[in-house]
Amino acid sequence: MPLHLLKLCVGAESIRDLEEWIEENMLLKRRLGRPEEQTHTTRMVPKRIDELVDGGSLYWVIKGQVSARQCLTEVRPFTDNDGIGRCHLVLDPVVVPVEPRPNRPFQGWRYLTAKDAPRDIGRDSGDLGEMPEEMRRELAGLGLL
């Protein structure tokens, strides 16, 4: 059973903000001739790497709610120029909206088990899939989703 990570998406106001940041980052890497992959750098290296890359995702908390996820394909530990251990989380650039769920702020990241992970919102999600993100966020905040 896959294991997931939960992380705050600092600075993003919406899922679209996150998608635009990813697009800009990919364009920059293409212009600089770097590998076109999305990475997110964290200070702490997860100990359960094998479980994370075996179908796990990084779930993003945007404006106080778990809102989206990206498949986690690789975890690359490294030491930065100051001698501090960090890691790159290599992510599939496709952002998948999930059923919004309130989440308090926290530092770093947290493990999230598959049974506790919110479900994806897709085309077959009925009205929820067609609803604008802002409305989903507001209804979830009111406890109606």
What pLDDT score does 121 carry?
Answer: 87
Query: What per-residue confidence (pLDDT) applies to 12?
Result: 92
- pLDDT truncated to tens, each residue of the chain (145 aa)? 789 999 999 999 999 999 999 999 999 999 999 988 999 999 889 999 999 999 999 999 999 999 999 999 999 999 999 998 899 999 999 999 998 999 998 888 999 999 999 999 865 555 666 666 676 667 666 665 6
Note the pTM of the prediction, 2 decimals. 0.84
Q: Are residues 9 and 62 in contact, defined by beta-carbon separation less than 8 angstroms?
A: yes
What are the tens digits of pLDDT across the range 133-144? Answer: 676 667 666 665
Q: What Rg do the C-alpha atoms of the chain give, in angstroms?
A: 16
Rounded distance, CA 113 to CA 42, Å?
Answer: 20
Residues 6+ apart with CB under 8 A from 126: none
Rounded CA-CA distance 10/130 in Å is: 26
Please provide the DSSP assignment of 72-95 as one string.
Answer: EEEEEEEE-TTS-EEEEEEE-S--
pLDDT digits (tens, 9 = 90+) for 33-54: 998 899 999 988 999 999 999 9
